[in-house]
Amino acid sequence: MVCGGFTCSKNALCSLNVVYMLVGLLLIGVAAWGKGFGIVSSIHIIGGVIAVGVFLLLIAIVGLIGAMHHHQVMLFFYMVILFIVFLFQFGVSCSCLAMNRGQQETLLNSAWGMLENKTKTDLESQLNCCGLLNITGSHFEQDLLNCPAACKKTQSCLMCGEMMLNHATEALKILGGVGLFFSFTEILGVWLAVRYRNQKDPRANPSAFL
C-alpha cells in the first residue's frame, strides 16, 4: 500500500504519538530525578515540568487511541489541541531566538524575583556566585548577605546574572531550535490526524459514516 494510504497514515500517527509519550515520560522522570538528587528544590519548577510531561502524555494517549480505533471525536479534539499547542510553542520559540541581551536581563530579573529563597541559595552554591545583577530596584544586597557560595569567603564572587547571561544566548538558541523542531512535528501530527480522519477504513462497512 502506498504511503498515502490508510494503513500508512495510521502507523505514522501511532508512531508520532509513541514519541510524544516517551518525551512526556522523560520530562516526568527528569523532574523526579532532579528533585530526588536535590538538583532543583523548588516545588513550583518541579511541578511545572511534571505538569508539562503529564499534559503531553495525555495528549499522546488520546491521539494514540484515536488513531488505533479511527475514532472521529478523539481525533478531532486531538488535532485541535495539538494545533493550539503548536501556535503557542512556535511563538515562544521565535521569541527565544529573537531575544536580545537587554530583554534577557529583564526576563532573568523577573524570573529571579519569583524564585524562592531556597532555590536562589541552591543556585548560588552550585554556580559559586552571589546575587543576580546589581541594578536599580533589585534585591542584590539582600541576596549578597544570604549567599552561601564558597567564593564569598575570598571576596571573589561573580554575579550569578553575569554568569547566566554569558551562556543565555547560546541556551536560548538551543531552546528555540528544539522548540521549533517539535512545533513542526506537532503541525505534522495535525496534518496526519486530518488526513487520517478523512480516510476510509478498507476493513469497515463501505456504507458506514466516515
Asked whether residue 60 is assigned to any structural domain, the reply reads yes
User: Is the dihedral angle over the CA atoms 70, 84, 186, 28 positive or is it negative?
Assistant: negative
- Alpha-carbon separation of residue 130 from 101, 111, 146, 173, 198 (angstroms): 20, 16, 9, 26, 58
Q: How many domains does the chain have?
A: 1
How far apart CA 57 and CA 80 sit, in angstroms, is: 16
Asked whether residue 133 is assigned to any structural domain, the reply reads no
Tens-place pLDDT, residues 49-94: 778 888 888 999 999 998 888 888 999 999 999 899 888 888 888 8
Looking at residue 44, what is its pLDDT?
62
Asked whether residue 128 is assigned to any structural domain, the reply reads no
Straight-line distance from the first to the last Cα atom of the chain, in angstroms, rounded to the nearest whole number:
20
Asked whether residue 193 is assigned to any structural domain, the reply reads yes
Is pLDDT at 20 greater than 80 in this prediction? yes
User: Which tops the pLDDT comparison, 135 or 116?
Assistant: 116
Looking at residue 4, what is its pLDDT?
61
Tens-place pLDDT, residues 88-117: 888 888 887 887 878 878 877 777 777 777
Asked whether residue 138 is assigned to any structural domain, the reply reads no
User: Which tops the pLDDT comparison, 151 or 18?
Assistant: 18
Q: What is the mean pLDDT of the chain?
A: 79
109 CB-side CA count, 13 A: 14
The C-alpha cell that represents 125 in the structure block? 552554591
How much is the CA Rg of the chain, to the nearest whole Å? 23
User: Which tops the pLDDT comparison, 171 or 42?
Assistant: 171
Asked whether residue 209 is assigned to any structural domain, the reply reads no
Average pLDDT rounded to a whole number, residues 186-199: 88
Average pLDDT rounded to a whole number, residues 152-160: 79
Asked whether residue 32 is assigned to any structural domain, the reply reads yes
Looking at residue 209, what is its pLDDT?
44
Q: Are 112 and 120 in contact (CB under 8 A)?
A: yes
Asked whether residue 168 is assigned to any structural domain, the reply reads yes
Domain of 39?
12-98+150-198
